[in-house]
Amino acid sequence: MRILLVEDEKRMSEALCEILRQEKYEVDACMEGDTGCEAACSGIYDLLILDVMLPGMNGYEIAKQVRKSRIKTPILMLTAKAGLDDKIEGLDSGADDYLTKPFEAGELLARIRAMLRRKNMDAVDESGNLSAGDLKLDHETMMLSNVSTGDSVRLAEKELHIMELFLANPGTVINKESMALKIWGYENEAEYNNVEVYISFTRKKLKFIKSEMEIKALRGLGYKLISKEIS
């Protein structure tokens, strides 16, 4: 899962990035509103965390622009402004949740998990894990399991994000460009052949746990997670 953090306080930004990366999230950080808005409107993120008070555009304005662009990415507002009117403004601007500073890391992470569960409701099982066919993916342990056979395997970080992308978008064809941006981000110089390499690694993990699901390549279009029976 890739998260965009727009926070202009350097120490706060660095601390939050570290917390999120320890939880196996991919994180991009911006420190001013205009750049943050451009990144937020790219549509490549699974979650947006916006501070309210920013140089340039503020968090409310970014949220409004994101929703105006018809992007449904969940938005969490972070701010020291705890008044009821401020919360109402944040929610009315398009935010899905509102967390006031100071806050505990545990509460932030719990809210993030809840927002991502709602976003991926169709693909989340009763335990909150992404699933499809005979597959279940535990983000915290990075374990991919075959629920039919009981076989499981631990994924590497990039493999984890690839499987999250497929399981969160069941039945959807994902092209190389979208996958490269989601997994490696704008700032990374990863070439498209990296996608093919990690797809190959992930396919081997699916084969290892004897899954009925496979990652099918569709020439000129991209990749799709699909049952072998209908491929």
Which of 39, 29, 25 lies closest to 6, judged by CA? 29
Domain end among 71, 86, 119:
119
- Rounded to 5 degrees, what angle do the CA atoms 172, 178, 184 make? 130
Task: Write out pLDDT tens, residues 108-120.
Answer: 999 998 888 887 7
Q: To the nearest 10°, the Cα dihedral for 204, 1, 158, 227? A: 10
User: Are 98 and 17 members of one domain?
Assistant: yes
Q: Are residues 8 and 115 in the same domain?
A: yes
Residue, of 83 and 213, whose pLDDT is higher: 213
Residue 100 and residue 127 in one domain: no
Instruction: Decide if pLDDT at 135 tops 90.
Output: yes
Residues 112, 159: one domain? no
pLDDT at 75 > cutoff 70: yes
12 and 112 inside one domain:
yes
Q: Which of 149-163, 165-179, 197-211 has the lowest mean pLDDT?
A: 165-179
Q: If you average pLDDT over residues 186-192, what whole number do you get?
A: 60
Residue at which a domain ends, from 69, 96, 119: 119
Tell whether 128 and 113 lie within a shared domain.
Answer: no
163 with 140, same domain: the answer is yes
End-to-end CA distance of the chain: 27
Which range has the top average pLDDT, 111-115, 119-123, 152-156? 152-156
Structure tokens at 69: 């662009």
Compute the distance between CA of residue 5 and CA of residue 169 in angstroms, rounded to an integer.
23
Name the average pLDDT for the chain. 89
Same domain as 129, residue 80? no
Flag whether pLDDT at 203 surpasses 90: yes
Let me know whether 109 and 128 are in one domain: no
Report which secondary-structure segment, H or E, holds 75.
Answer: strand 75-79
**In this structure, what CATH number is given to the domain that contains residue 163?**
1.10.10.10
Number of separate domains in the chain: 2
The CATH number that applies at residue 112 is: 3.40.50.2300
Q: Which domain holds residue 83?
A: 2-119
> Same domain, yes or no, for 183 and 97?
no
Q: Do 142 and 61 belong to one domain?
A: no
pLDDT in tens, 163-180: 999 998 877 899 888 888
> Is the pLDDT assigned to residue 231 strictly greater than 60?
no
- Cis amide prior to 102 (ω within 30 degrees): yes
**Predicted confidence band of residue 84 (pLDDT cuts 50, 70, 90):** confident
User: What confidence tens digit (pLDDT) does each residue in 22-68 have?
Assistant: 998 989 999 999 999 999 998 889 999 999 999 999 999 999 999 99
Mean pLDDT of the region 83-99: 87
- Give the pLDDT of residue 63: 95
Give the largest Cα separation in the chain, rounded: 55
Q: Which of 75, 96, 119 is the last residue of a domain?
A: 119
- The answer to whether residues 155 and 130 touch, using CB atoms and an 8 Å cutoff, is no
pLDDT over 80 at 229, yes or no: no
Per-residue pLDDT, 200: 95
